[in-house]
Amino acid sequence: MAKGHRSQIKRERNAVKDNRPKATLSYARVSVQKACFVLDAIRGKDVQTALGILEYSPRYASSLIKKLLESAIANAENNNGMNAENLYIAECYANQAPTMKRVHPRAQGRAYRILKRNSHITVVLDEKK
């Protein structure tokens, strides 16, 4: 059992701020499963290696994640004053966003539902020690 009142636990949890640079892409028109194939390839790598992997990856999600990584690098340089050569990808993940539901007409008056899935993609950077 956690000690303290709910509000006290929340206050302690929110007091610890994460100052690592990050970038988030909301409502990306790619499914979480397809985005995770690309994210798994770059997780833990330094940013120059990750940009090279994303440049030559044939998947559609790689172009979105490349722009997102470049944005995170710019955030690190401008907002946190970090050096781009020392950065690596500490975390990268994709969460499910709201799904667009569409209808596809089929034979004999039936209708099949098509789910167009979206995702929220986040890239968090950190400096090498």
Regions of the chain short of the pLDDT cut 50 = none
Q: Give residue-wise pLDDT tens across range 22-56.
A: 999 999 999 999 999 999 999 999 999 999 999 99
Which token pair is 119?
Answer: 């995702």
CA 21, CA 89: separation in Å to the nearest integer?
10
Contact 107, 49 (CB under 8 A): no
Q: Residue 84: which CATH number?
A: 3.90.470.10
What is the phi-psi region of residue 97: left when phi exceeds 0, alpha when psi lies from -120 to 50, beta otherwise?
A: beta
pTM: 0.85
In this structure, is residue 113 part of a structural domain?
yes
β-sheet bridge partners, residue 126: 88
Count structural domains, the chain. 1
